[in-house]
Amino acid sequence: MTATSPPAVLRVTAAALVDATRRRGFWTRTVAAVLIVATVVAYLIFRTDGAADSDDAAAFRFFDSVRDWVDANRDTSPFFLYGVNYVRLGVRLLVDAVQAVLLGLGFAGLVAAVSAIGLVFAGWRTGLLAFGGFLAFGVLGLWEQSVDTLVLTVSAVLLSVLIGVPLGVLAARVRWVGATLRPVLDVMQIMPTFAYLAPMTLLFLIGEPAAVIATMIYAVPATIRITALGISEVPPTAVEAATALGSTRWQLLSKVRLPMARTTIVLAVNQTIMLALSMVVITALIDAPGLGQNIVNALQRVNVGAAFDAGVAIVILAVVLDRITTNAARRTRVHQNRRRRAIVAGGAIVAVIAAALITINPDRLPGYTFAEPVNDLVGWIELHWYDVTEGLKNGISAGILDPLETVLVTTPWWLFVLVVAAFGTLVSGWRAAGLAALAAAGIAGLGLWQHSMQTLATVLVAIALTMVIGVATGAFCARHDRLATAIRPVLDAAQTMPSFVYLLPAVALFGASRFTAIVAAVIFAVPPVVRLVERGLRDVPATVVEAATSAGSTPRQLLWKVQLPMARGGLLLAANQGIVMVLAMVVVGGLVGAGALGYDVVAGFSQRELFGEGLAAGLAIVLLGILLDRLTQGFHDSKGPRR
Amino acid sequence: MRSMRAAAAAALIVSLTACGGATSGAGEDEPSSGAKGTVNLAINPWVGYEANAAVIAYLLEKKMGYTVEKKELKEEIAWQGFETGEVDAIVENWGHPDLKKTYIEDKKVAVEVGPTGNQGVIGWYVPEWMTQQYPDITDYKSLNKYANLFKTSESKGKGQFLAGDPSFVTNDEALVTNLKLNYTVVYSGSEAAIIKAAQQATAQKKPLLFYFYEPQWLFAQEKYVRVKLPAYSEGCDADLKKVACDYPDYVLDKIASKKFADTGGAAYQFIKNFTWTNDDQNLVSDYLTNQGMSADQAAEKWVNEHEATWKPWIPA
C-alpha cells in the first residue's frame, strides 16, 4: 500500500456522499421552487392593505375579564385563599429565611463563607476567586444590591432543585412522565422571559415571591432535563449488579442511581444557577430588589456607565457561582482524602464564624466605579460617529426591514399559515409543520397579526445578521487556535450577562428604534452561534480535510465546499439556538422603542386598560417562538448528520 | 430583625391554617408602626419624581431617624404595591382617576394625601427654532402640512411623534387618530431618551415633535414651544379612545397606602405636610441630572439652603 491510498478511498466515499445528497436534493429543490412560485403568485393576488390591529379584540377582552375576576376574588376565592396565596406566602418565607442567613453573616462573614465554600468544594484557586469577587461588590459600592440578587437567585435555585430533581428522576424512570414532560419543557424553554412577567403579577402580585417563581419557571427545565439525563446514563450493569445483590427499588435509587449521577446533577445545578441569575435581573421590572434595579434605573436615564458597574457585578457573581459549581462537579469524580477534607472544612467553618463576628461596613472600602470613563467613551462615540450610526440605522431600516415588514404584514393570515405548513413539511416533516401552522393560526386568532408580523420581520433581519457575523467569526476561530483561545473568555462573559444589559450600549448608539433591538439581539445571540459553528467546523474529520487539501482545494474551496457543508448539522443547530435568543431579545427591545409585540407587553404591565392586550401579546410571542423553533429544529433534526 | 420577621410569618402561617386561607398580602412587612420603622417609597421613572423622593427620603432618614426603602417602579405597578404592602407612598401622582377609583374607592387600600404643590402640564412640544422657520407649526391644524419634516426610520412614511415611557399618562395615539394627523407615535422608552432627542433637536436643528411636561429642568436651559391642540374642557378625556382635546393641567398629589396612613405616625404626617414649588423641584432635578449628584447629595444641598421651606413639614 502506498501512502496516497487512504485519501483516495476517502475521495471516492466523499464523491458518493455528494452524489447521494444531490439526488435527494433534486426533488426537494423542484418542489421548493414550485412552492416559491405558488407563494409569490398567491401573495400578489391576495395581499391585503395590512390593516392595523384593533385594540378591542375578543382575546384582549377575555384577558381583561380574567384580570377583573382575579382582582375581585383574590381574597375570597378558595383557589387563591388555599392555593395561590399559600404558594406566595411559602416563597416569601423561603426568601426571608435565605435573606436572614446571608445578611446575618454580615459583610466579612459572607465573604469568608463564600470563599470557604469555594475552598472546600472546588479548591483554593476558586476560593481565592470567590474572595476577590465578593470583595469587588463592596469596592463597586454595590454590596447590598449584590446580596439581594444572590438571595433571590439562591431561593429560586433551591426551589428549582427541590422540584426539578425529583421530576428529573421520575422523567428518567417512568416513561409516561418523561413523555408528558418533554413538550412542556420545550415550550418553557423557548418562552421569552418577558412574556410571563404579567401573568406572574396577576397571580402572585409584585415583589420577591413573584420574582422567585418567575425565575424558577425559567430555570427549572434545565434542572429536570439534565437530572433525567444523568439518571438515564447510569450504566445498566451497575444497576443489575445491585439488583442481583438484593437491593430494593428505593435502595437502587438512593445508593446506586443518585450517587452515580451525582456529577451530572451538580452540573444541572450549575446550569440552573446561570439561568436563574439572568432571569432574576429582569424581574426588577416587577419589583424584585437587587442589581436589576440598578440596570432598570440606568436604562431609564440612558446612563451606560451606571449600568456597566452593575453589569460587572453580575458577571462577577456569575463567574464565582459557575466556577464553584463546575469545579465541585469535577471534584466529585476524583476520590479525595476524606480526613484532609474534614480538617479543611472544620477550619473553614471556624474561620467563617470568626469573620461573622467582625463587623466591617462595606461602604468604608475604597470605592471604584467605571461609570465616568464609560460615559466619556459613549459620549465621544455619540459625538463623532453620529453620521455612521445614523446612516447604518436608516439604511438597514429602509432597505431591508421596511420592505420585509410590508410583505409580511400585507400577507393574509391564511396564506401565511398555508406557507408555513407547506415549507414546514418540506424541511422539517409534517409533524413539526403542523405544530408551526397551528401556532401561526393561533397568532391570527389573538388579534395581533400586524404586530406579530412586525416582530417577525425584526427577528428575521436580526437572525440573518447574527448568522453572518456568527458564522464568519466561528469559521475564523476554527482556523486560528490562538484567536479562539483569546476569544473564549469574552464569549463566556457575554453569555453570563443578562439579556437586558445589552440594550444600553445599543440605545446609546442608535436611539430608540427597531434597529436598536436588532443590535442588542445580535450582540446577545452571536456568542453561542460562534461556539456552535466553531465546534461544528472542528468536528469535521481531519482525514476529510486532508483528502480535500491533497486533491488541490484552495483554503477558500475547502471552507465553502467541504467544511461548511459537512458542518451543516452544527450550523443549523446554531441557527435554531440563535433564533430563539433573538426573539427573546427583540421582544425586550419593546422597552426602547422597538414597538410591536414587545411594546404591547411592556404597556400591558404598566397601563391598566392595556392589560388584556399585553397578555395576548405575551401569548403571541410564545406562539411565534414555537413556530420559529419547530421550523428550525425540524430542519436540524431531519437533515442533520444523523441520517 | 429579619429572623424575627420569619418567626412572625411562621406563626402567621399556623394561625392562618387554623382560621382558613391566606389573603394576598399575608406575610408582608408590616408598615412602620411605632416610632422608627421603614418607609417604602415608590420611585417612578422621571427625574422630577426623584427630586421629591430624594428630599423626602433625606429628611426622613437624617432628620427623623427612619429607614427608607426606594423601589424603582412604574406608576401603575407602584399602585399595585399598595395592595401587597410593598409600597407605602407615591410622592408625585399625575391624575390617574381610574387607579384612584380602583385602589381608593373600590379596594380601599390607598388614600389621597394632598397636593405636592407642583403644577403639572403635559403637552406636545417642538424646539423653538422651528417656530421661527415655520411660524404656524404651533397650531395642530398645520401639523399635517409639515409631517414630511418629521419622518424617521421608525415612522412608517408618516411624521414621527416621539413619546416617552409606555407607562406615562398619554392620550397621544388617540389624539393622532381622532385629529386625523398623518403621524406615527414612537415610544422612546424613557424620559432620558426624550430629553436626549430634544437636546439634539435644538443643537443640530433637527425637526422634532414630542411629548413633554412640566415641571422640567430642561426648560430652564433651552426653549421649547407647546403645540396648541383643541382646548381641554371638563370630561373631554372621559373616553380614552375618543379623546380629541389637549391634556388638562394637573394638580400633582401624593398617595399613601391605607395601612401607612393608619399606622405610619410621624412619617405619614411628614409626607402629608410636604409641599413645595416647581422651582424647588427643578432645582433638585438639575442637581441630579446635570451636576452629577446622587439623590442624597442633591437633597442635602437643597435642605441646607432651604431650611425655612422644610422646617414646617416635620411634625412637632
Q: What is the DSSP string of A492-545?
A: HHHHHS-GGGGHHHHHHHH-SSHHHHHHHHHHHHHHHHHHHHHHHHHTS-HHHH
Angle, CA of A357, A363 and A369, to the nearest 5°: 140
Judged by average pLDDT, the poorest of A50-59, A144-153, B274-283 is A50-59
Of B73, B189, B191, the CB nearest to A593: B189
Query: Is residue A370 in a domain?
Result: no
Q: Which residue has the higher pLDDT, A441 or A349?
A: A441
Alpha-carbon distance of B190 to A512, in angstroms, equals 9
Q: Find out whether A518 and A505 touch, Cβ atoms under 8 Å.
A: no
Helices (H), B120-215: 128-133, 172-178, 191-203
Helices (H), A74-207: 78, 85-122, 124-139, 143-173, 175-190, 197-204
* Mean pLDDT for the stretch of residues A17-36: 70
**A202 vs chain B: nearest CA distance in angstroms?**
10
Of B26, B192, B196, the CB nearest to A300: B192
Q: Residue B305: what pLDDT?
A: 93
Chain A residues inside the 8 Å CB shell of B241: 55
Domains in chain B, CATH or no CATH each: 36-119+250-313 (3.40.190.10), 121-248 (3.40.190.100)
Residue of A nearest to B165 (CA): A591
Chain A residues inside the 8 Å CB shell of B83: 205
Query: Is residue A95 in a domain?
Result: no
**B285 vs chain A: nearest CA distance in angstroms?**
13
**Contact (CB<8Å) B187/A296:** no
Of B10, B154, B156, the CB nearest to A93: B10
Cell of A7: 485519501
pLDDT tens, position by position, A57-76: 788 888 888 888 887 777 77
Cell of A250: 428505593
Residue B22 at interface with chain A, using a CB cutoff of 8 Å: yes
pLDDT at A5 over 60: no
pLDDT tens, position by position, B243-254: 899 999 999 999
ipTM at complex level:
0.78
Domain CATH for A422: 1.10.3720.10
Query: Is residue A134 in a domain?
Result: no
Q: What band does B32 get if pLDDT is binned at 50, 70 and 90? A: very low
Chain B residues inside the 8 Å CB shell of A99: 2
Residue of A nearest to B45 (CA): A300
Q: Residue B114: what pLDDT?
A: 92
Q: Name residues whose C-beta falls within 8 Å of residue A460's C-beta, 6 or more positions apart in sequence.
A: A404
**Contact (CB<8Å) B77/A605:** yes
Chain A residues inside the 8 Å CB shell of B154: 397, 512-514, 593, 595
Beta-bridge mates of residue B71: B42
Q: What band does A641 get if pLDDT is binned at 50, 70 and 90? A: very low
**Contact (CB<8Å) B189/A512:** yes
B157: exposed, middle or buried (Cβ count in 10 Å: 0-12, 13-18, 19+): exposed
pLDDT at A493 over 90: no
A190-225 per-residue burial string, b: 16 or more CB within 10 A, e: under 16 = bbbbbbbbbbbbbbbbbbbbbbbbbbbbbbbbbbbb
Q: Residue A14: what pLDDT?
A: 55
Q: Residue B31: what pLDDT?
A: 44
Q: Residue A513: what pLDDT?
A: 84
Q: Residue A638: what pLDDT?
A: 45
Q: What band does A1 get if pLDDT is binned at 50, 70 and 90? A: very low
Q: Residue A634: what pLDDT?
A: 57
- The amino acid sitting at B19 is C
Closest CA relative to residue A208, chosen from B226, B27, B197: B27
Q: Residue A221: what pLDDT?
A: 92
Query: Is residue A403 in a domain?
Result: yes
**Contact (CB<8Å) A88/B186:** no
Number of domains in chain A: 1
Alpha-carbon distance of A496 to B242, in angstroms, equals 47
Q: Name residues whose C-beta falls within 8 Å of residue A9's C-beta, 6 or more positions apart in sequence.
A: none
Query: Is residue A504 in a domain?
Result: yes
How far apart, in Å, are the Cα atoms of B214 and each of A36, A133, B137, B218?
55, 44, 21, 9
Residue of B nearest to A594 (CA): B187
Residue B191 at interface with chain A, using a CB cutoff of 8 Å: yes
Judged by average pLDDT, the poorest of A28-37, A111-120, B221-230, B289-298 is A28-37
Residues 50-79 of B with CB under 8 A from A: 71-77
**Contact (CB<8Å) B6/A96:** yes
Of B72, B75, B83, the CB nearest to A205: B83
**Contact (CB<8Å) B86/A302:** no
Report CA A487 to chain centroid distance, whole Å. 20
pLDDT at B2 over 60: no
Q: What band does B21 get if pLDDT is binned at 50, 70 and 90? A: low
Which of B171, B187, B210 to mutate to test binding with chain A, by most A CBs within 10 Å of its CB? B187
Q: What band does A639 get if pLDDT is binned at 50, 70 and 90? A: very low
Report chain A's mean pLDDT, rounded to a whole number. Answer: 83
**B39 vs chain A: nearest CA distance in angstroms?**
15
Residue of B nearest to A401 (CA): B153
Which of A103, A513, A607, A609 to mutate to test binding with chain B, by most B CBs within 10 Å of its CB? A607
**Contact (CB<8Å) A607/B166:** yes
Helices (H), chain B: 2-19, 47-58, 75-84, 97-99, 128-133, 172-178, 191-203, 258-263, 265-273, 278-290, 295-305, 307-310
Residue B86 at interface with chain A, using a CB cutoff of 8 Å: yes
Pairing type for strands B209-214 and B159-163 reads parallel
Q: What band does B124 get if pLDDT is binned at 50, 70 and 90? A: very high
Of B9, B107, B191, the CB nearest to A92: B9
pLDDT tens, position by position, A155-183: 999 999 999 999 999 998 888 998 899 88
Of B73, B166, B240, the CB nearest to A599: B166
Which of A76, A206, A304 to mutate to test binding with chain B, by most B CBs within 10 Å of its CB? A206
Torsions phi, psi of B164, nearest 5?
A: -100, -130
**Contact (CB<8Å) A303/B77:** no
Query: Is residue A505 in a domain?
Result: yes
Q: Find out whether A98 and A158 touch, Cβ atoms under 8 Å.
A: yes
**A124 vs chain B: nearest CA distance in angstroms?**
33
**Contact (CB<8Å) B193/A303:** no
Q: Residue A167: what pLDDT?
A: 94
Q: Residue A247: what pLDDT?
A: 87
Of A74, A93, A287, the CB nearest to B27: A93
Closest CA relative to residue B150, chosen from B141, B140, B161, B163: B161
pLDDT at A288 over 90: no
**Contact (CB<8Å) A286/B81:** no
Judged by average pLDDT, the poorest of A32-46, A451-465, B2-16 is B2-16
Query: Is residue A543 in a domain?
Result: yes
The count of CB pairs under 8 A between chains A and B is 165
Q: Name residues whose C-beta falls within 8 Å of residue B228's C-beta, 6 or more positions apart in sequence.
A: B138, B139, B140, B246
Q: What band does A13 get if pLDDT is binned at 50, 70 and 90? A: low
Alpha-carbon distance of B48 to B280, in angstroms, equals 10
Highest mean pLDDT among A425-439, A536-550, B129-143: B129-143
* Mean pLDDT for the stretch of residues B199-216: 89
Residue B35 at interface with chain A, using a CB cutoff of 8 Å: no
Which of B44, B69, B84 to mutate to test binding with chain A, by most A CBs within 10 Å of its CB? B84
Tell me B219's DSSP state.
G
Judged by average pLDDT, the poorest of A109-123, A212-226, A233-247, A337-351 is A337-351
3-state secondary structure of B231: coil
Alpha-carbon distance of B282 to B215, in angstroms, equals 7
Pairing type for strands B159-163 and B183-187 reads parallel
- The amino acid sitting at B268 is Y
Q: Which residue has the higher pLDDT, A302 or B53?
A: B53
Tell me B150's DSSP state.
G
Domain that residue A488 falls in: 385-643
* Mean pLDDT for the stretch of residues A410-433: 86
Of A75, A289, A507, the CB nearest to B23: A75
pLDDT above 90 coverage of chain A, percent:
15
Q: Residue A2: what pLDDT?
A: 40
